[in-house]
Structures are given as C-alpha cells and as structure tokens.
Structure 1
Amino acid sequence: MRDSVDLLVIGGGANGAGIARDAAGRGLSVLLVERGDLGGATSSASSKLVHGGLRYLEHYEFRLVREALAEREVLLRLAPHIVWPMRFVLPHVPDMRPRWMLRAGLFLYDNLAKRVTLPGSEALDFRRHPWGAPLNGAATHGFAYSDAWVEDARLVVLNARDAAARGAEIRVRTAFTSAQRGADGWTVTLTAEDGATQTVRARAIANAAGPWVMQALEDTGVQAPDRIRLVRGSHIVVPALYEGSQAYILQNDDRRVVFVIPYEGRFTLIGTTDVPHDPASGPPRCTPEEAAYLCRAVSRQFRKPVTPEDIVWTYSGVRPLHDDGAENPSAVTRDYVLKMDRSAAPLLSVFGGKITTFRRLAEDAATQLCEALGQPRPAWTAGATLPGGDLGGRTVEAFLAEAARRYPFLEPARLRRLFHCYGGELDAVLGHAQSAADLGQDLGGGITERELEWMVRQEWVRAPEDALWRRTKRGLHMTEAEREQFARAFQQVRQAA
C-alpha cells in the first residue's frame, strides 16, 4: 500500500476510473479510492447507452452531441465486447414534434461526426415494417437510427483494471475522509471499511466523486468553484415486450423521451426519469410515481400495456449535472466542466458529464493534471483497447465461432454472455477448461466458481451484490432463495481466493 503518490483520484465511477487509467498511462503514480464498489452508484445506473443524445439537439448542444458521436465510434472500436451497435426506432407522433423536425434532427445526428461502423437513419412505414408490430397503431410512420449499447458497470471495472496494469493502485471500500493542503502537496486521510485510517501524501487530487463532489471539496477545505444539480433517473425492468434486437425511443406528452430496450435476453428495460433528488432523502429509489410514469409512457404507444405489477426490478441513479441555471431538469446540460485550482497543490474537480464522453473527460483531466505537475505527456487512450477489447483482428461473430469450437460444452447463450463480460480475455477466465466440471460448481445464475474467482482476484469483487448486479446482471435471473444461496457460496470462494 502506497503512502505517497503523484495523483489521488477520489471516486471509482467511470470518470474516476478513466482519469486513473489515463494518468497512469502517462507515467504518474496513481491511487484511486472508492468508498463503495467500483461503479457502485451513478455509473452502474445509467440507461446503458453510448449515444450522442438525439434530444440534446433541441437544446442546441451541437458540440456535446458531436463529441459524443465521435466517442461512440472510439468506444465501439476499443471495447467491442461491452459496446455494440443498436438500432433505435422513433415513432412519429404528429401532435408532439413534426416529421420535418425529426428528419432534420436525424440528418444532423447522422452528419455531425463521421460514422465508420454504424448505418445512417431511414424512414419507416409501420404498416409494412415488422418493427411496427409491437406498437399499437397510433403511429403509422417513424424513423430508425443507430446508437450503441454499453455494459456500463463493466466499462468502469475495465478502466480500473487497465489503470492497475499500468501501475495504479485501486482501493475499493476506502473512503476519502479529509485532506490538508500544502504548497507542494496534500496530506490525505483515508478510512478503510473496518475503520482503520491511513495517511497518504499526494502531489495532486482529482475529485471525481460524482454526486458527492461538493462533499469532497468541503473535506479538502477548498471553496466550491461551481455547483451541481442532483437529478434522479429511474428505470424499470419488465418481461420482454417484443422479440427482436431493436430498441424504441418514445416521445412522451411532456416532450421528454423514454427508451424501451431489449435487456438480458428475457426482459425489457424502460427509462428514464428526470426528477430533482434531495440527498437527505437517502439513496435513490424508483418511486411509485416514477414507475407509473414510465408504465404510462410505454402503454400509450405499445400494443402490450405495461403496469406496475409487471415490474420485476427497478434501479435508480443520481446524475450530478453541472448547474447551468436551466429550470427544467431535462434541459440541464449533460456536458462536463473541469475546474482546476492551482492556488497551491493542484486540485481538479469534475462537474457533470455523461458515460459516453467519460474517456474525453478523462483525457482532458489528465492533460491538465500532468501540466499542473510539470510533467506534460501526450494523450494516448484513443488508440488503446480496454481489457478484453483486442479480438486479434476478428469480428465479434468470428471470435465467438472460434470460442465455440474451443469450448463445445458451453451452450451458445452462456458463451455469448461470458464473451460480453470478458471478450478477448475469455481464455484467461476459463483457464482452457475442457469440460463444464473444470469450471467448478454453478453457484447460481450461471456464475461458476472459476468465474467468481476471477472476479474476486481480478475485479475487486468484495460482496455478492458486486458480482450479481454490477460485474454481471445474473441476479436478475435468480430467485431470492438462489441469491441467498449464492451469498453463502460467495464467502467460501472469496476466502479460498
């Protein structure tokens, strides 16, 4: 355990893990601390999309959309196992936005940034096209366009793994408690899960604490240079509403949009809401009002109505949006702002941001931090795959076909699930197993002893929920009794690992 580093990163979400990775790759000694699990808050509670943000065009955020669309192509290239193309269907509801406006918006969306891997938009006649079948017929026409899906919690973990491979130290369940500033560095107090404290020295601090960015600033004794607005986004999961890999983006009567997305093979993910969140109310939860709102939005346009009784799972996250003064939470910018305080030892704070642009945010942050420390180094992450992202020049389907020949005992659905977790590291996880028995006991939801050992040793899994709801979503496929059984088995595997 280090007691002196160039850079302390507070927060193990997408931004914090991205900054740690980028800075470590530029030669800085880095320590990242996360008081809970990696990606345990906002970064695992997103809509799971790498997208430009079609609706942001209405707010004239062209630079943000352009940057996000460019990053979409970058992430598709660097992490094809956890980021993949998805086609979105946009029904045209005449009394909301006129067709010309949708067509113009999609033209901009297609052309603001260069598309390499994704097809452009197209008009659809739902009376003839099969994608109109799940809809109730109120909309006879619409459009289709491209964006991408991301396994958000795994994106965080893979950035942390690459940071560690480049020399960073990652400490989960370790809280940043306080810091005293000097002319040449920070004296920082950290508190472990068991209550033990440690003092470390850091030449600079990156405050990427997300919803807790203001609290972290208070703990440094530095006056906040800006403000954030906490906005809760809730999602519901219901049994699959339709067959097919296409997602839907529905215009709601309040001019917001709601996504309807195939999820985990057997389910449909619906979200999200935009509700001001009071931290005094406790951790974010999907309220009955939010659940009813999402059900109504889908039932208004889908053939199969959705009721709160259909919901099998909900999750909520708090977006720490940079406060730009907008009255409507949906209109608050999703852009990020970096504030660097160089009055003594450097302190960089992150306000806002979205998961799609986390790499660009991290690149900007690392550049500023290196310059502040007098160690300018070139950016590098745009061309470096994340762990598992190197498929040896093969397409995803070619890689899967070859893996099926190596592991014939794995049924296709399980193999694909493992690929979308581990990609090119599949052999390392499975250890060149020759049979299902070589993977050890199935602990529930298809997670074997071998896979759990990997997550404990390589991915900082410290509790059953880390494995069931963040590294994977297998908890969704298990009964409460099975999850309890997994928790008992988990303790044995962790102790052995």
Structure 2
Amino acid sequence: MEVPPAGDWQHVRHGPHRDTSPHPAGTSRAEPVIGTFDRASGLQRLEEQTFDVLVIGGGITGAGVLLDAVSRGLSAALVEKHDFASGTSSKSSKLVHGGLRYLQHGEIGLVREALAERTTLMRMAPHLVRVMPFMIPMFSRDGVINPRISRALGLALWQYDLAGGLRIGRAHRRLDHAATLAMAPALRGERVGASYLYFDAQADDARLTLEVIRTAALDFGAVAVNYCEPVALIHDPSGTVAGAEMVADEQRITVRARTVVNATGVWTDDILGLDGGTGSHTVRPAKGVHVTVPRERLPTEVAVVVPVRGDKRSVFVVPWDDFVYIGTTDTDYQGSLNHPRCDDDDVAYLLDAVNAATTAGLSPGDVTGTWAGLRPLVDRAEVRGTRTADLSRRHLVDVSPSGVVTVTGGKLTTFRRMAADAVDRCVHQLPDSAAGRSRTRRMTLLGARHRDRRALTGLPPGAADHLRRRYGGQARAVAALVAAEPELGAPLVEGLPYLRAEAAYGYLHEMATSADDILARRTRARLLDSAAAVRSEDTVEEIGRTYRSSGGMRLRV
C-alpha cells in the first residue's frame, strides 16, 4: 500500500506566482508547483538553495512571514530550533479576538485592526477559527447592580461592535439573571444580577501555526524544517547579512539568503546577539499561565470573563470539548525562556479567582493540565516599571544595520498583519524583485478547502465531526488511514477524542518526530489531561516506529 505526500490530495493554486525577477548566479528558486513537507528533503534544499527570505522562528509569526513571502513569488525557507509552535504559539489563550480590555487603554486602533484580522482568519481557516460567545457577568450587591458599571459595560460593548465586532454577524446583548445562570450555571446565583453576551473567536493555536506552514510548503514550494537551530549569522564583505549557520541532527549546515527575518518571539534578543547586537533588550517576556479542569467541575456553555478581586484584571473561563481552561496570568518573567513553569502560586491565583465568582470550589486536585507561555512584549524605555498586563500588544518591525528584519510583539490574532509588514521590509531590501503587496488577506489554508459533508466512513461515533473540526478538508486523509488499518481508529489517549490515526498522520505528513510533538502540539492531549497523555506515550512511540517520516506503511488514497 502506498501513501503519496499529503499535498497530492490537498494542493490548490492561488494563481500565477512564477517570479521573473533576476537573481544572482547559482540561485535556485522554488517554482510555484506542488511542494513537499518533508524534513529530509527540506534539509537538503536548505544546503543547496539561496533564498530570498530566510525566516528564523517557527511560531505563528514566522509561519505567517513564510506564507506571505512565498505567496508574493519570493523563495523562502523557515527554520525552527525546536518543534513548530513549541514556544508561545502553542501556549496562548487560544483566542482570536479584538481585545475588549484594550479599549480601556485607549487603543481603539489596535482593537479595530485585531477585529478586522479576526474576520480574515475566520475566512482563511473556518475549521480552526470559530465563533465563541463570551459572557461578562455583572455582580450585584443586595440584588442591585451598580448602574454606572452597567452603563460603562454597555457602552464599551457598543464601541467594540462598531470597531468591527459586528463583522462576526452578531451584536452583543444583555441577559437577565435566569438566562445568565442557564448558560453559566456555576456562577454564584446570589451575586449575579445579569450579564452581557458578546462574540469573539477561538482557535487551536498550534494547529493554526502548522497549517499556515504546510500551506506555504505544499501550495508554494516553501521550505520548512524543525529541530534546526541557528548558531551564527553570516555576512558578506560589506557587513550585510547573507544567511545563517544551522545545526540539525548534529550536522552544521550553511543556509544562504538575501534577507533574514528574526521572528523568534521571546528569543528575539538571542538572534540579535548573533548579529552583533550584544546587550539588546527588544523584548520583555511576560508569563501567562492556564489550567485545565473537567467541564463537569465548572459547567458552562460560553466563555466567561471572571474578575480577579483586588487585581484590576480578569481571567477567562473557556470551554474546550469536555474540559474548561482558565487563564491567564500576566506577570514579568526572568527565568529560563525554554522552560517556563506553572507554579503553585499561579494555580492558586487562577483557582481563587474562579472560586470567588462560582460555586465550583476548585482545588489543585481538579487540575488535569497546565501550560505556561511567554508573551514577547515590546520593551520600551518609557513604559518600564509598568506591569505587563497594562503594556500594549502592538507589534514592532525593525531592521538592524546588517539588514536583519526583526518582527516581535503583537498577538495571535494579528500575526498575518505582522507578517505582511515584515515582508514589506524584506521586499524593500530586494530592489530587483518583482514581488508586490501581501496576498494573504484573501487566501485560504489547506483545511479550508473541500470541506464537503460527504460521510467519513469506518470511524467511531463522533470521530468524523472531531476530525473535521481539527483538519477541515484534510479529515478524509486521516479517515483513509483508518480505512486501511482499522486499528488506527482506536483512541490514542484514554478519555480524549484523539484517534491513533492522528498520530500516524502527524508522523507521516506533519513532520512530527517524537511522542511530545504528537501529544503536545499535533494533538493537545498534554494540555487537556497530562496524566492520561503520559500513560499513552508508549503507544505513540510505537506508532512512530511504524509511520515516522516518509518510511513505514504506504497507503494510496
């Protein structure tokens, strides 16, 4: 049996992208034909080609830069020292939103931009970015709601709707006491007087990152390689950056490029150090922690915004399948960038906030999963001393004296806009290029295509809808693995909806190299139920021995 590259059933052209601009002798360009997403061939191409754009960093921002660059007709490669989305881009709040709280800081322009991008992402990846209703409860004193608070919230939500919130197709509305408790029955009924309901969106951040990268590779011939660490930048005799030295599989390779983009998030200053920028302080890391509990312990049909007493902040309570996650904290961080931890104080902060507003009575024993991520906030001298929760989420694009383009700051929702701004700077440094303006605003990702409702046969009950929500039009490729090997239809992790076929697909077509890649990012098992994920590691490794890379079983779809 034979499995063709995933692109054989996924590829769709976005129109003519053949670049006719001149290039230096010896430059090899990825033609706008079906590409591959294979690590071994990617490493080979890194050594053999000279690229218009080399992107360092495989999070959502780097993924966006890669797709933006190749869709303009530029040759581009992306390298990531760990796995794709292994940093902040798998550990966010998983919300695609305008940021209602930014209105109170007067950042109406940022909110307007983010809401416009929310609409774009829902069109680009409707299977991954979906509408989520949010509730803001209004707590009463002796049964009376403070009218000033009620008016202020109503006004803020009208501003939010008019800034772009209405593009989602729904306006905010006020709910009475009964309707509020019907949607969020764990709220303290004696304290809640009413609530407001408004609408934003939720997304699986790691899968979104991976799908952006795979679209760049399979639709436009981009190169993307994980576990490929930059250890030096190379410069031409004039001092202009000309590529990077990498270490992959204990081998050192040289990647040549006409421009280099630093999209490494909280590691931004490390890459600037390779460029000679010793002592650079571009980024101020802020730690954000989330915890997961079973939904039966904190029942809710909507995301709930819960105030934190005495902290002038709120945390989200967000439903996710049979679980609910709570977050986030927002604190300065000074520790290891590679291993931020969720400590006991973080857990207590989140549980105390929820317990004050609900009857759940959560304890640390109810927590089934945790994650801690680091936001790469732009470090500006004029705001030092300000707490991270109050810092702007605007992004920064800067160019070093050697020509390294650095893009940082921002948020998940605005990654596409950040990427477009960064590639604009690259194009400015490529005067002989015919690349035009960004094309990604009207693009769709791989899974957004062929999303028909034809039956996915041979799957366990509920599995077809589960696969469609995660893979969109690619769900049939995962289902085909089950059809060929029925044992792949068995659960991957006890108590979670993932199939063994998803691990096989991750190894075969999504460049997964380890059980952690599968359990933490190709699925989200470690975030939902970490103990169950640990118990499944041997199963995942066994699947990996059969299906890893391009070897193993071959199935013709």
Asked if 1:216 is matched to 2:274, the reply is no
Residues in 1 aligned to 2:480 and 2:114: alpha-carbon distance in whole angstroms: 37
Shift of residue 332, structure 1, vs aligned partner: 0.9
CA deviations on 1:117-166 (whole Å, 9 max, x unpaired) are 33111111123441252211212111110000001000110011011121
Asked if 1:318 is matched to 2:370, the reply is no
2:155 to 104, 115, 118: 104
Residues in 2 aligned to 1:408 and 1:351: alpha-carbon distance in whole angstroms: 45
Shift of residue 277, structure 1, vs aligned partner: 0.9
Show the counterpart of 1:462. 513
- TM (norm. structure 1) is 0.91
2:327 to 252, 271, 289: 271
1:195 to 240, 247, 250: 250
Show the counterpart of 1:395. none
Residues in 2 aligned to 1:275 and 1:212: alpha-carbon distance in whole angstroms: 18
1:161 touches 1:458 (CA, 8 Å); kept in 2?
Answer: no
Residues in 2 aligned to 1:303 and 1:198: alpha-carbon distance in whole angstroms: 57
CA deviations on 1:7-61 (whole Å, 9 max, x unpaired) are 1111000000110111011111111110000000100000110011111111111
Give me the identity figure in percent.
Answer: 33
1:31 touches 1:169 (CA, 8 Å); kept in 2?
Answer: yes
Shift of residue 235, structure 1, vs aligned partner: 0.4
Residues in 2 aligned to 1:447 and 1:191: alpha-carbon distance in whole angstroms: 33
The 3-state SS of whatever aligns with 2:358 is coil
Residues in 2 aligned to 1:449 and 1:133: alpha-carbon distance in whole angstroms: 35
CA deviations on 1:442-477 (whole Å, 9 max, x unpaired) are 554565554333212321111111111211123445
Greater Cα shift, 87-96 or 439-448? 439-448
Show the counterpart of 1:12. 58
Show the counterpart of 1:82. 128
Shift of residue 299, structure 1, vs aligned partner: 0.4
1:331 to 390, 397, 409: 390
1:92 touches 1:141 (CA, 8 Å); kept in 2?
Answer: yes
1:175 touches 1:191 (CA, 8 Å); kept in 2?
Answer: yes
Task: Summarize the Cα distance change of 1:274–1:406 in structure 2 as closer, same or farther, 3 Å threshold.
Answer: closer
Q: Tell me the amino acid that sits aligned with residue 30 of structure 1.
A: A
- TM (norm. structure 2) is 0.82
List alignment gaps of at least 5 residues for structure 1: 393-398
Residues in 2 aligned to 1:422 and 1:361: alpha-carbon distance in whole angstroms: 25
Asked if 1:428 is matched to 2:477, the reply is yes
Show the counterpart of 2:168. 117
Asked if 1:308 is matched to 2:364, the reply is yes
Shift of residue 268, structure 1, vs aligned partner: 0.9
2:288 touches 2:330 (CA, 8 Å); kept in 1?
Answer: yes
May I ask how many residue pairs the two structures share in their alignment? 483
Residues in 2 aligned to 1:246 and 1:60: alpha-carbon distance in whole angstroms: 27
CA deviations on 1:375-407 (whole Å, 9 max, x unpaired) are 241211011111101245xxxxxx4xx34x342
Shift of residue 94, structure 1, vs aligned partner: 5.9
2:198 to 133, 145, 153: 145
Greater Cα shift, 97-106 or 208-217? 97-106
Shift of residue 216, structure 1, vs aligned partner: 0.5
For 1:150-299, list aligned pairs within 5 A: 150-165=203-218, 166-182=220-236, 183=238, 185-192=241-248, 194-222=249-277, 227-240=282-295, 241-253=297-309, 254-263=311-320, 265-280=321-336, 283-299=339-355
Task: Summarize the Cα distance change of 1:450–1:300 in structure 2 as closer, same or farther, 3 Å threshold.
Answer: closer
Show the counterpart of 1:373. 430
For 1:432-447, list aligned pairs within 5 A: 434=483, 437=486, 439=488, 443-445=492-494, 447=498
Show the counterpart of 1:490. 544
Show the counterpart of 2:15. none
List alignment gaps of at least 5 residues for structure 2: 1-43
Residues in 2 aligned to 1:8 and 1:185: alpha-carbon distance in whole angstroms: 11
Show the counterpart of 1:39. 85
Q: Tell me the amino acid that sits aligned with residue 423 of structure 1.
A: G
Shift of residue 100, structure 1, vs aligned partner: 1.7
Show the counterpart of 2:408. 351
For the aligned residue pairs, the C-alpha RMSD in angstroms reads 2.3
CA deviations on 1:276-318 (whole Å, 9 max, x unpaired) are 1113486111110010000010001112121122111110001
1:72 touches 1:148 (CA, 8 Å); kept in 2?
Answer: yes
2:98 touches 2:114 (CA, 8 Å); kept in 1?
Answer: yes
Asked if 1:135 is matched to 2:187, the reply is yes
Greater Cα shift, 199-208 or 441-450? 441-450
